[in-house]
Amino acid sequence: MKPVKMAEAPAGHSGAGFFATSFDQVIGLARSYSLWPLPFATSCCGIEFMATMGAHYDISRFGSERPSFSPRQADLLLVMGTIAKKMGPVLKQVYIQMAEPRWVVAVGACASSGGIFDTYSVLQGIDRIIPVDVYVPGCPPRPEQILEGLMQVQHMAQNESLRRRNSEEYQELMASYNIQ
Partner 1 sequence: MSEIDLISDKGQVARINQPELVEELTTLNLGPTHPATHGIFQNILQMDGEKIISGEQTIGYIHRAFEKIAERRPFYQITTLTDRMNYCSSPINNFGWHMTVEKLLGIEVPKRAQYIRVIMMELARISDHLICNGILGVDSGAFSGFLYLMEKREEIYEVYEEICGARLTTNMGRIGGMERDLTSTAIRKIKALLETLPAVLREFENLFNRNRIFMDRTINVGPITAERALSYGFTGPNLRAAGVDYDVRVMNPYSSYEDFEFDIPVGQSGDTYDRFMVRGEEMWQSLRIIEQALNNLPEGPYFADAPEYYLPPKKDVYTKMEALIYHFKIVMGEIDAPVGEVYHAVEGGNGELGFYLISDGGRAPYRLHFRRPSFIYYQAYPEMCKGVTISDAIMIMSSLNVIAGELDA
Partner 2 sequence: MLTNQEVAEHIAEKFDGSVADFEQPYGLLTLTTTRETIIPLLAYLKDHPVYQISFLTDITGIHYPESTGKEFAVVYHIHSLVNNFRTRVKVFLGKDDLHIPTATDLYASANWMERETFDFFGILFDGHPNLTRILNIEEMDYHPMRKEYPLEDATRQDKIDALFGR
Instruction: Give the binding site for ligand SF4 (CB under 6 A).
Output: 43-45, 81-82, 108-110, 115, 139-140
| Residue span binding partner 1 (CB under 8 A) among the ranges 15-23, 112-120, 145-153, 160-168 | 112-120
Rounded CA separation 23/29 (Å): 10
- Per CB under 8 A, 50 contacts partner 1: yes
Query: Angle 178-161-104 (CA atoms, 0-180°, nearest 5)?
Result: 45
Which of the stretches 5-13, 29-37, 43-51, 155-163 binds partner 1 when contact is defined by CB under 8 A? 43-51
Interface with partner 1 includes 47 (CB under 8 A)?
A: yes
**Distance (Å) of CA 118 to CA 82, 110, 114, 115:** 11, 9, 6, 7
**Count of positions (residues) in the chain:** 180
Q: Considering CB distances under 5 to 8 angstroms, the limit depending on partner class, which of partner 1, ligand SF4, partner 2, none binds residue 125?
A: partner 2
Instruction: Name the residue nearer to partner 2 (CB basis): 105 or 123.
Output: 123
